[in-house]
């Protein structure tokens, strides 16, 4: 399988749920990898034949889509949600038909879609199991959005509203054929019960519930959509992945970046000196086609020989994969 197709399979499977990635960490097939869903191989990117079930020295990671927040409505609640979500480093989309409530000046670091709510669902959106928050300016718009998002793969749906409004909305949807099981997926009234009153408190309660939902999944690796998109489109690059860390290294297993021939890159392995060294090595691989997939370890303890001179301590091990 070509790498572009492999990452497209990964993207499509992430829309349906979690995916397991298995990566070879030794031998001739170092860096070979495969995707599994419920113990079934759905994609393989390898140079050698592997026993993906029993072979030793295979890194197993559970992958999931990054936390993507889609907010219907650009009013005062959405504005408070936006500011807190930025601190949480979430990907944010705001949807509202009113230009004064949905624009880059109001939400400078969000994706703003200013159109009728009906039109949004007629488009082929690139969402990968997002977290939907419904907070429009009217009950009819809330119901319209709820009807549609229940049909879309998602990790979370929450809708603002009083208990009476929620009951009425659910009754309307049942009359349209929606089941109790479908409606049980909806968090409504939305948010953790912290007796919130102000817009800021309501936003805090909502995002606390969102955090609770994605942390409960206990997924080890979140795949960033923009990194995955680049991997699907570009023809040649080197992928750098964190496969092991100890101590206080500023990264997590699964952090990754892709380095391209023009020296641009997307993603991160934690920033700082480690990322600078990783990019230097990745660019050397791009310049020298004879360099194969390899593993490099970096010592962050300034008291030890071979250290890169940081005081945080620990170590980071990176896998470099040619694509």
pLDDT tens string 225-244:
889 999 999 999 999 999 99
pLDDT above 90 for 251: no
CB count within 10 Å of CB 231 equals 23
Q: What is the DSSP string of 75-89?
A: SHHHHHHHHHHHHTT
Q: Which residue has the tokens 């091990």?
A: 317
Q: What is the mean pLDDT of the chain?
A: 92
Q: How would you list the strands of the sheet with 315-322, edge to edge?
A: 265-268, 256-259, 238-246, 315-322, 294-299
Angle separating helix axes 225-233 and 3-16, nearest 10 degrees: 150
Residues 19 and 45 sit within 8 Å (Cβ to Cβ): no
Q: Which of 229, 247, 245 is nearest to 237 (CA)?
A: 229
pLDDT value for 305 = 43
Percent of all residues in the chain with a pLDDT value above 90, rounded to a whole number:
80
Condensed to tens digits (0 to 9), the pLDDT of residues 93-151 reads: 999 999 999 999 999 999 999 999 999 999 888 888 899 999 999 999 999 999 999 99
Structure tokens belonging to residue 319: 């896998």
Instruction: Kindly tell me the burial class for residue 200, based on how many C-beta atoms sit within 10 Å of its own C-beta (0-12, 13-18, 19 or more).
Output: middle
Q: What is the mean pLDDT of residues 2-24?
A: 94
Overall residue count recorded for the chain in this entry: 323
* d(C-alpha 180, C-alpha 173), whole Å: 10
pLDDT value for 129 = 85
Q: Which of 66, 65, 75, 76 is nearest to 95 (CA)?
A: 75
CB count within 10 Å of CB 292 equals 13
User: Domains in the chain, please, with CATH?
Assistant: 1-63 (no CATH), 68-216 (3.40.50.720), 224-323 (no CATH)
* d(C-alpha 278, C-alpha 318), whole Å: 8
pLDDT above 60 for 307: no
pTM: 0.75
* d(C-alpha 44, C-alpha 5), whole Å: 10
Condensed to tens digits (0 to 9), the pLDDT of residues 149-166 reads: 999 989 999 999 999 999
**Residue spans of alpha helices (H) in the chain:** 3-16, 76-87, 117-120, 139-149, 163-175, 180-183, 199-216, 225-233, 272-287
Q: Angle at Cα 262 formed by Cα 256 and Cα 268, nearest 5°?
A: 15
């Amino acid at each position: 399988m070509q790498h572009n197709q492999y990452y497209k399979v990964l993207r499509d499977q992430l829309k349906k749920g979690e995916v397991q990635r298995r990566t070879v960490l030794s031998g001739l097939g170092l860096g070979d990898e495969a995707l599994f869903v419920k113990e079934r191989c759905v994609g393989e990117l390898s140079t050698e034949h592997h026993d993906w079930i029993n072979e030793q020295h295979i890194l197993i990671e559970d992958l999931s889509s990054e936390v993507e927040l889609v907010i219907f409505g650009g009013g005062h609640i959405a504005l408070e949600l936006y500011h807190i979500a930025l601190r949480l480093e979430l990907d944010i989309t705001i949807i509202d038909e009113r230009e004064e409530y949905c624009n880059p000046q109001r939400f400078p670091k969000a994706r703003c879609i200013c159109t009728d709510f009906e039109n949004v669902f007629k488009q082929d959106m690139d969402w990968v199991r997002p977290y939907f928050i419904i907070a429009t300016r009217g009950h009819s718009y809330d119901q319209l959005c709820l009807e549609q998002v229940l049909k879309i793969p998602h990790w979370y749906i929450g809708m603002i509203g009083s208990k009476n409004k929620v009951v009425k909305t659910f009754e309307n949807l049942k009359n349209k054929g929606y089941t109790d099981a479908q409606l049980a997926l909806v968090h409504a009234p939305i948010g953790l019960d912290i007796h919130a009153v102000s817009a800021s408190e309501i936003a805090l309660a909502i995002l606390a519930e969102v955090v609770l939902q994605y942390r409960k999944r206990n997924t080890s690796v979140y795949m960033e959509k923009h990194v995955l998109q680049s991997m699907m489109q570009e023809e040649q690059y080197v992928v750098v992945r964190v496969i092991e860390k100890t101590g206080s290294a500023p990264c997590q297993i699964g952090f990754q970046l892709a380095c391209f021939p023009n020296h641009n890159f997307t993603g991160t392995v934690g920033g700082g000196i480690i990322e600078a060294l990783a990019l230097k090595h990745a660019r050397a691989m791009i310049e020298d086609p004879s360099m194969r997939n390899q593993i490099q370890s970096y010592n962050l303890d300034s008291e030890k020989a071979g250290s890169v001179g940081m005081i945080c301590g620990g170590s980071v091990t990176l896998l470099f994969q040619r694509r």
